[in-house]
Chains A and B, each alone.
Chain A
């Protein structure tokens, strides 16, 4: 049997490694539009912050050799012919498959794609982006940057460049940073703390409307509020869209069942896959590594053994990289809120029907694992949630186990 993967990202690497570990001996071809060994996008900002490039290859730089893979790199797949079981690349190369693993991830979404033609404007999604930014910053001795977009990746970008010593202005449309993973109060608290701890200049409720160039070189950006900021470096990270065109003809993602099958011969996983939320049952794209990993493992298991079923994705996330100030959240911020704050630490849990519907833990990771498991296991916690989040020694769990109250 011959397996082809579209993508060499986190899901594809996990999938291929699993296949080999589970004893799959057939031919494996991995296709990517980039030219690298599998790398972890979660880690690449550290390369910009000054750490060695080598550490991005999370499963080893010799991955293709070690797992006996034929790589087909730097050549995007443009079409999957499901009837003939063929993938076709931009360079016109065909590859036939018995089983396809479609994990092409997502790409940055740009409000004005033509901006990228200007020297000094970059996305912040791939290792190709990081290498280009790194070279540009070193060669031009860049001291200032504007980051447009204050979601998870935008904040990651701002913090990595801040670590490198750049002066950063972060422009975000919403009333707070990380607006998808925080509620209004938690987000404002986290935004104020991030600003105070880093000195990053955060501009909320505005957007970058125009760029000012000179001979193809970025000079300044203009905000919606009329302000002009001189800068030779603009990072655009305001959103992503799934790379699903080659398979579906649109960018709405690839629908999958619980075996991660999109089609009888095609598995999918990761940031391109539409899956069910483990708690709410809602269909959506849950673009974090733990989901991609779990989905890839289920697909590999199903391919080799014909069994296995995906239990659903979870929208947990944490921002802590580059800064000792974690922001953890999951679920929906709806229901009855319980809040506790002491100094730098802020916690809020939303209950519905006595169970955790969503939560935010800011400033500290303690109890986050405990709350995560309470959330997933759908335990009723209405009697003691107040004590759990306000216990300064965060030992409620152990009190319960020992029967000491």
Chain B
């Protein structure tokens, strides 16, 4: 089964993935509509850690702790794509899932999928509808630096990816020159700021 992998060394922290996700998840499928709408749902979050950055979202673990903890029947696995799906209509926002998700991939708010005017849990659905049509997830399509890869994961990596993020962050492989330059500048900028603080 295919999963989204991240080559964090190629991530430019441009957040194109976040915007693409917001548009994909918005009922109007438009950036203008998603902007400034407090119900806009963004399932991927670019995490900045000093000079490193990478987009973080659900790993679609197998077995999935969140699925095993949900007492409402809201979380299920698509047998075909392997995606771990969360049905907002059944979610009671009890946070049993968030309590055990090792990657902090579940957030809560009132989204366009909330049925009863209260917050619900939301997370990445691997763009399940898109991938069933043979497309890539929206974030992967939007990423122009090659940091996001939608690829078949071998069984071994799949098993490790459940518990460890390291296997999901692929690491450096043929970083393009301009990205290498960007990284170098970012590293220097962070070093400069750190020195400034001391």
Contacts and interface: CB of A to CB of B under 8 A. Distances in A.
B186 to A, nearest CB: 12
A320 B49 contact: no
A402 B93 contact: no
A365 B98 contact: yes
Contacts of B92: 42-43, 46, 55, 321
Interface string A293-305: 1100000000000
Interface string A362-378: 00011111101100000
Interface stretch (A142-150, A331-339, A391-399): A391-399
Contacts of B104: 366-367, 369-370, 394, 397
A392 B185 CA distance: 26
A130 B100 CA distance: 29
Nearest to A60: B73
Contact of B68 (A290, A368, A401): A290
A210 interface: no
Contacts of B68: 290, 293-294
Interface in A335-387: 365-370, 372-373
Contacts of B169: 401-402
Contacts of A239: none
Contact of A370 (B102, B108, B166): B102
Interface in A272-292: 289-290
A326 B95 contact: yes
B181 interface: no
Contacts of B165: 397-398, 401
Nearest to B115: A51
Nearest to A328: B99
Interface residues of B, number: 37
Interface stretch (B32-40, B50-58, B146-154): B50-58
Contacts of B99: 316, 318, 328, 365, 368-369, 372
B96 interface: yes
Contacts of B166: 401
A237 interface: no
Highest count of chain A CB atoms <10 Å: which of B50, B69, B71: B71
B131 interface: no
A188 interface: no
Given A50-B116, A369-B102, A58 B73 contact: yes
A301 to B, nearest CB: 13
A59 interface: yes
A289 B98 CA distance: 15
B103 interface: yes
Contacts of B49: 395, 398-399, 402, 404
B1 interface: no
A294 to B, nearest CB: 7
B89 interface: yes
A404 B72 contact: no
Interface in B77-108: 89-90, 92-96, 98-104, 106, 108
B62 interface: no
A365 B109 CA distance: 13
A398 B108 CA distance: 21
A10 interface: yes
A321 B65 contact: no
Contact of A395 (B47, B73, B93): B47
A40 interface: yes
A42 B47 contact: no
A332 B50 CA distance: 35
A67 B92 CA distance: 25
Interface in A35-58: 40, 42-43, 46, 50-51, 55, 58
Interface in A239-260: none
Given A10-B71, A46-B92, A50-B116, A404 B100 contact: no
A324 interface: yes
Highest count of chain B CB atoms <10 Å: which of A55, A367, A397, A399: A55
Given A10-B71, A290-B69, A328 B90 contact: no
A348 B26 CA distance: 38
A40 B52 contact: no
B107 to A, nearest CB: 8
A243 B147 CA distance: 55
Contacts of A43: 71-72, 92
Interface string B108-136: 10000000100100000000000000000
A328 B100 CA distance: 10
Contacts of B100: 290, 316, 368-369, 372-373
14 contacts: A40-B72, A289-B71, A289-B96, A294-B68, A318-B94, A318-B98, A321-B94, A324-B108, A365-B98, A369-B65, A369-B100, A395-B49, A398-B54, A404-B52
Interface of B: 8, 47, 49-52, 54, 56, 65, 68-69, 71-73, 89-90, 92-96, 98-104, 106, 108, 116, 119, 163-166, 169
CB-CB nearest 3 A-B residue pairs: A58-B73, A320-B95, A289-B71
